[in-house]
Structure 1
């Protein structure tokens, strides 16, 4: 994978202000930046602190260990590095990682072979299968190129609808059956209005099916709201309420979001110490709290390009000290409809994973645009 210093094609927006990065970039001289870079890059590869003697062997401009220790002390005073033990070398702080990612990291590009592999795997997963299968493959792909878990969040209402049916279960309840054009089927329970006519379920289904025409649930709901007067003229009051209740049941803010996670086992690889195992245990607990993960991933829908969240910048990862790299994908109308990403330790290979996440999001968008 080739590297190009700060020639980042896709915009990378952080979740923290840039004033600190601007000040640090101005304050650090070339020698300090090189030493800091070596500390961070060693940490990203090994997870281990690096000391002055080891740094002296790899620096471009030779310096004595004593001079390097002085620079490391300055970096520590600036909040960029810390010593995990009294006699240990230095590790980057979360502030240091954020500064490195935003101001110093050399982003690679996705090779021709990697692009072909991603596209082939995604096309194979999407062909003849549901959208969820394709998104699960995207999550699996991303887990394979990282030391983390691949994650996808999308709206269950993104798929265009093919058919809606109301099935009575008992006098007070019915099942709303939603069949999407991608082949997925969703069933939801619905409380029925008291005194509903016997043929109201069929009538409500016919009314909605006549207006689906490839619309998503969200689009259909908006259309019905705009044409409320027309609906009330065509249907009796209780049947009209049934139509609105059926749509409202399927597009609630929590129920409409879907989380797909693959590759959690990767997080158990390359554990260095007991505290690493505890960190992974906390991260697993975070991933099980799906609502919080969905909320965090949804924040990546707020802008263009890749978003990077590091450690305690987000309360979800404040205990596990984890990071997330995520990028939004779009449907055929260029509307952002979901996010793909990677969650893992703060020493993720950002330079490699950022372009992979970005490209995978673009492939998912193209699949949605072309209807697979």
Structure 2
């Protein structure tokens, strides 16, 4: 099972313009960077290339690749590193995405799929994020739409004279609590009536479905409910949605992994900037949201997205679906641009497919 990853027409066209020698030298530069993070020079390339070329011939090709914007020299007289454009070209046109290793497949099955029915979905999502972090040595991220869970029970509990707690329980075991204002002197019977009214209409529905149903029911139930009870029901509805029917749940695990491969002070600064990016959850949610319309895996490299323009990071993500094949979330890995794309792409793809099987 190979990961689904679209090849861009522009990259394939550029690939056709490179001769075999240029293609192989470029491949070795990128693969050396992905493995070590270090520039590679013409002398070392001459030793590892599968063809016999002198360092001088290699330097001529490297000059052409540099003029094409695919590689650059970080320092005078240094070896070469791929540019972000070069990385994108490599990922789109040259990289081979194979099957996931059997031991990694078993690890994902064991840690995510095993006994998932007995755990709340939020716990399963957090486990998936932690798993991806551990396997990739990057940060695992999961974005889910909180309104997808099927509802089981709701209850109003007075905790102060003018405040009540709304407890919302989902079929998958998730419990959400919200505080809502209530009128002074509201009788206990109004809390019971509101609870019964809601429970008769929400069971088995998603939050979005329940909201639509209840808004219609409230419009025709004025004779059934007194004014105070109706206001209580409306307050409960507003508190669950947070005023936003597309409310998101973002889980990030394993940020500390990003500190494990620092090579210089500039790396430390890059990671600091990435941590700032991760703290800015709105930007991350927006970026992950772009992957919700994708079929299969998407890869964001460095400044292709403004969120990573300073930290020079990459993100590999894939959507997962519910039992009706609707996209209900995105999961993946964030790390430096020299992520092991060939390994992580099928890992993210397989984990997304496992999550899709678990969500009914």
For the aligned pair, the TM-score class normalised by the smaller chain equals over 0.9
| Alpha-carbon distance in 1 for matches of 2:222, 2:62 | 73
Residues 44-96 of structure 1 deviation map (CA, whole Å, 9 limit, x = unaligned)? 00000111111111222221111111111111111111110011111111111
What number of residue pairs does the alignment pair up? 359
Q: Which runs of structure 2 are paired with 1:6-155 in the superposition (5 Å)?
A: 9-13=2-6, 18=8, 20-124=10-114, 126-155=116-145
Equivalent position to 2:262, from 256, 271, 275: 271
Gapped regions of structure 1 (runs ≥ 5): 1-7
Residues 226-256 of structure 1 deviation map (CA, whole Å, 9 limit, x = unaligned)? 4454344533444334323322222234993
In the TM superposition, what is the alpha-carbon distance from 1:288 to its structure 2 partner?
1.7
Contact 2:2-2:99 at 8 Å conserved across structures:
no
TM-score, with length taken from structure 1: 0.89
| Alpha-carbon distance in 2 for matches of 1:93, 1:31 | 19
Contact 2:3-2:97 at 8 Å conserved across structures:
no
Residues 86-125 of structure 1 deviation map (CA, whole Å, 9 limit, x = unaligned)? 1111111111111111111110211333322211211336
In the TM superposition, what is the alpha-carbon distance from 1:212 to its structure 2 partner?
2.0
| Alpha-carbon distance in 2 for matches of 1:94, 1:292 | 21
| Alpha-carbon distance in 2 for matches of 1:193, 1:13 | 57
1:312 corresponds in structure 2 to 303
CA distance 1:76–1:226, change in 2 (3 Å): farther
TM-score, with length taken from structure 2: 0.92
CA distance 1:257–1:338, change in 2 (3 Å): same
Q: Determine helix, strand or coil for the equivalent of 2:204.
A: coil
Contact 1:151-1:262 at 8 Å conserved across structures:
yes
Q: Which runs of structure 2 are paired with 1:207-356 in the superposition (5 Å)?
A: 207-252=197-242, 253=244, 256-356=247-347
Which segment drifts farther, 109-118 or 292-301?
109-118
| Alpha-carbon distance in 2 for matches of 1:39, 1:271 | 20
In the TM superposition, what is the alpha-carbon distance from 1:19 to its structure 2 partner?
5.9
2:146 corresponds in structure 1 to 156
Q: Determine helix, strand or coil for the equivalent of 1:220.
A: helix
Residues 244-285 of structure 1 deviation map (CA, whole Å, 9 limit, x = unaligned)? 332222223499311212222211112111111111111112
Contact 2:162-2:182 at 8 Å conserved across structures:
yes
Which segment drifts farther, 116-125 or 28-37?
116-125
Q: Determine helix, strand or coil for the equivalent of 1:364.
A: helix
| Alpha-carbon distance in 1 for matches of 2:313, 2:245 | 24
Q: Determine helix, strand or coil for the equivalent of 2:215.
A: helix
Equivalent position to 1:179, from 169, 183, 193: 169
Gapped regions of structure 2 (runs ≥ 5): none
| Alpha-carbon distance in 2 for matches of 1:134, 1:310 | 28
Contact 2:147-2:246 at 8 Å conserved across structures:
no
| Alpha-carbon distance in 1 for matches of 2:81, 2:137 | 19
Q: Determine helix, strand or coil for the equivalent of 2:267.
A: helix
